[in-house]
Amino acid sequence: MAGNSASVRGSFGSKFGVIAAAAGSAVGLGNIWKFPYITGVYGGAAFLFVYLGFIVAIGLPVMISEFTIGRKARKNAFGSFKKLAPKTPWYVTGFLGVGAAYLILSFYGVVAGWAMNYTVEALKGSFNGKTPDELTSFFTSFIASPFKPIFWQLSFMFLTGLIVIMGVQKGIERYSKLLMPLLVVILIILMFRSMTLPGASKGLAFLFKPDFSKLTWEGVLSALGHAFFSLSLGMGTLITYGSYINNKNNLGKTALQVTLADTVIAIFAGMVILPAVFAFNIEPGAGPGLVFITLPNVFLQMPGGYFFSILFFILLTVAALTSSISILEVVVAFLSEELKMSRRIATILAASSIALVGAFCSLSMGHLDYAIFLGKNFFDTVDFFSANIFLPFGGLFISLFMGWHLGRKKTLKELSNHGEIKIWYIKPLIFSLRFIAPIAIFIVSIYGIYENVVSYLASLN
């Protein structure tokens, strides 16, 4: 019976709960670890402006689509497509999404484990008295060691599973409501510290004064990929969350608020990290190690650095946790609805098998560092497949599904809560979903794959 299956599904209890959970999903390592460093790598403000353009033109429309698909179908990512497009191959999109969730979380958990370990190291004062070189080898030898990073990765996955097992409202929503305000408070304290450092204004100029001559095509393409990653789009996370949103919610408005929160928090994270980096004359283009190698350097030189380093790594861990629960929920919702498992069994099975794959990701940074695909080790292969293939193609199919399959009339009906709210933006929305998003995503992913193959072939010579 329809009523029966609806009653066992979870749901979010309040409007703030929806925002906290969805913004909690979006705000993560992508904002605090990745955004500042890729902005640094691609030259600062010009990259930021292109990123913002993609967020508005593509990210927001796709986010509205995911919420709409999920709420209309009231199913997990895979089941949603099966229900809205029966007897068609659209369900492959949902299936890809569940697979991507599995892969993303396996390496996400590893990086989040690093953040947990660094919280403890900050507490112990382990960065004290270390030279920049020593801090570099502190990081590289840690991530390559066999046990310690896996211990932290497993601890992080355990926490993630613990929250998800408690359910949509009592687990995910409750902890998002608790952790997201904490995250914002810590971020504001750190921002204040960073902006009052002498020399901070150079960092702000780097972030906000565009120099478009520095922008490369590669930068443009990374901006699009990062827009997807940062907003949690392309694999059904927000389809799954959308399926828990009640029928009165204004989905367009919710998507706008989540997008704003994610973007503002990324910019704030940039305002924490870049002024500090410039104030101490450190290279902003340091890459993925920016947060784990460069920042401890900065904290060492900064008054109150001990205290602020602890706060920073707590921030990173909390941000990762509210994202990882949303990724795990994609798999758990799939297993419990499609394979009729209890939430408990589904969570234990998903979390432990993802943790196992994650352990191999972690080992591939050290003991198992063999190239297995296009010269990449296991960690980089998993990262490459999920971020450069699954996510963009997922986003492409979601756009096409909404724009062409569901179409303007059905979309409008769901988005307007059956005519209760006026959707003035329906025209540009459908236009982006039909043309702008699919074409841009197609170009980006093909280019991304091409570039990787070319650089691999070049490395062979």
Point out which residues bind ligand TRP (CB under 6 A): 25-26, 28-31, 104, 229-230, 232, 234-235, 237, 323, 326-327, 391
Supply the minimum distance, in Å, between the C-beta of residue 62 and ligand TRP: 11
The number of CA neighbours under 13 Å toward the Cβ of 301 is: 16
Q: How far apart are CA 194 and CA 298, in angstroms?
A: 10
Pick 235 or 255: Cβ nearer ligand TRP: 235
Pick 22 or 440: Cβ nearer ligand TRP: 22
Pick 239 or 251: Cβ nearer ligand TRP: 239
Tokens linked to 226: 């990062």
Supply the minimum distance, in Å, between the C-beta of residue 28 and ligand TRP: 2
Distance of CA 306 to the CA centre of its chain: 28
Q: How far apart are CA 253 and CA 255, in angstroms?
A: 5
Supply the minimum distance, in Å, between the C-beta of residue 100 and ligand TRP: 7
Pick 143 or 319: Cβ nearer ligand TRP: 319
Pick from 23, 324, 319: nearest CA to 182: 319
Rg (CA), the chain: 21
Supply the minimum distance, in Å, between the C-beta of residue 233 and ligand TRP: 6
Q: By three-state DSSP, how is residue 376 classified?
A: strand
Supply the minimum distance, in Å, between the C-beta of residue 280 and ligand TRP: 26
Pick from 62, 357, 41: nearest CA to 230: 62
Pick 279 or 327: Cβ nearer ligand TRP: 327
Supply the minimum distance, in Å, between the C-beta of residue 59 and ligand TRP: 11
Q: How far apart are CA 311 and CA 313, in angstroms?
A: 6
Pick 200 or 235: Cβ nearer ligand TRP: 235
Pick 233 or 302: Cβ nearer ligand TRP: 233
Nearest 10 degrees: Cα torsion 195, 196, 202, 206? 0
CB 155, CB 116: distance < 8 Å: yes
φ/ψ bin of 302: left (φ > 0), alpha (ψ from -120 to 50), beta (otherwise): beta
Supply the minimum distance, in Å, between the C-beta of residue 93 and ligand TRP: 14
CB 398, CB 234: distance < 8 Å: yes
